[in-house]
Amino acid sequence: MIIVNLDVMMAKRKISSGDLAEKVGITPANLSILKNQKAKAVRFSTLNDICKALECQPGDILEYKED
67 occurs within a structural domain? no
48 occurs within a structural domain? yes
6 occurs within a structural domain? yes
Q: Quote the Cα angle for 3-40-47, to 5°.
A: 65
- pLDDT, residue 67, reads 84
27 occurs within a structural domain? yes
Domain span at residue 34? 2-56
Q: Is the pTM of this model over 0.95?
A: no
What residues have CB less than 8 Å from 7, skipping those under 6 apart? 35
- CATH number for the domain spanning 25: value is 1.10.260.40
Taking only the tens place, the pLDDT of each residue in 10-54 is: 999 999 999 999 999 999 999 999 999 999 999 999 999 999 999
What are the angstrom distances between the C-alpha of 8 and each of 11, 15, 54? 5, 11, 11
Domains in the chain, number: 1
